[in-house]
Structure 1
């Protein structure tokens, strides 16, 4: 019998007043891409079902228990808490039938939440984009890399809370970089 196992075998949640790092293993995710000439229909279906306009540029929007992150032109990543057996692939395939291709990402990608006053400082040590709040603010998103590991990252509404999604096979390498960077950044008394 298969048993769910964390991709983060070397990541113990970190919680200090200055910085928190925790895997988000309670999520269901699916990517979807609008079919040819179906962008407007996909956008209308998402608006009707979830009450949000899909972002047309790197950004994150949320509504009705779900977030949508821009992943490339006419492609998005849907992220929601798994809850009572919620399955984003099934949910979106039902909604977007014949308008978009939908692919489950729940087992292929993992998400880490980094929050606290030192979060930008820690992330800036391995992410080559401007993370200053005037350049990367609430609900901003980017496809980038963190210490040479490809990530999709977004900021939540809270100015110091970020989530980073990466392929599952890179989870331990990412965790190793993140924890070492965090430990080097935190004050000795943290």
Structure 2
């Protein structure tokens, strides 16, 4: 019986070749920005079937303890939760790939589920100048009075469609983009962050 051979295919971060851990940009003083690739997380789009949103809400609440966020909002607990994406549509996420494996079967009667774990790239933007950095790129008012913890938006950065949400009051933002545009978004982020000095943190292990 022939020996099993290892696959030549191996997972590759969407940020590979772009995200170099360490300090970059302005070298003096505290870094104003931290960029952390969020590799290894699970992502899936959920689109409610016509007339089944309440049933979807009940299943997600019972199984995961999740609430369906209203427009412009995210409901998160740790690394898991839901982010509003469009009418009747949400982005589900979890800290590990296995955490959402049962979601398509569980929701089959009430919603369509599409795995986005390898289709989108997520980077966490934090640090004392995080809000200022994001304000450079998005046509969204990020003042704390109108965009705070749990706020979410679908917009564009440098003419690239993105989805982002604010995780806490520090503020910390998670930014999601189609994987094929990860390099372009990273180029914008690093150029915009250079004046503040920025640190790239190694992606956490899945």
Give yes or no for TM over 0.5.
yes
Equivalences for 1:16-165 in 2 at 5 Å?
17-63=31-77, 66-82=80-96, 85-88=97-100, 90-165=101-176
TM-score, normalised via structure 2 length:
0.83
- Return the index of the structure with the highest Cα Rg: 2
The answer to whether the 8 Å contact 1:50/1:64 transfers is no
Aligned residues of 1:13 and 1:23 also touching (Cα < 8 A): no
Match of 2:20 in 1: 12
Q: Size of the alignment, in residue pairs? A: 184
Moved over 3 A (4+): 13-17
Q: Unpaired runs of 5+ in structure 1?
A: none
CA RMSD of the aligned region, Å? 1.8
The residue matched to 1:138 in structure 2 has which SS? coil
What's the offset of the Cα at 1:56?
Answer: 2.0
Output the CA distance in 1 between the equivalents of 2:183 and 2:131. Answer: 21
Paired residue for 1:183?
Answer: 194
Q: Gaps spanning 5+ residues in structure 2: where?
A: 1-7, 24-29, 199-206
| Greater relative contact order, per chain length (Cα 8 Å cut-off, separation 6+) | 2
